[in-house]
Amino acid sequence: MKVSVDRSLCYGSAECVYRVPAVFAFEDGYGVVRPGGTGAADGPPGGEALREAAEKCPSQAITLTE
């Protein structure tokens, strides 16, 4: 599963970092995907956690692709 954050939509709530800190970081006021933090559907941090982070993102800046 590939994870991306659209910085033009992100307004820095850090909700993603709170939900999945192994994948997301907070840099320069925006959520970003950590290097190597693309996530995996079958292992930590898990596809379900990533889906929840994307769904709960208040700015809808997180995109997941299989």
Q: Is the pLDDT of residue 25 over 90?
A: yes
**Structure tokens given for 12:** 């820095």
pTM of the model: 0.82
Q: Which CATH code of 3.10.450.50, 3.30.70.20, 3.30.420.40, 3.20.10.10 fits the domain covering 2-65?
A: 3.30.70.20
pLDDT tens profile 35-58: 876 544 444 456 889 999 999 999
> What is the pLDDT, as a whole number, of residue 47?
84
* Residue 3: both structure tokens together: 């994870």
Length of the chain counted residue by residue: 66
Domain coordinates of the chain in residue numbers?
Answer: 2-65
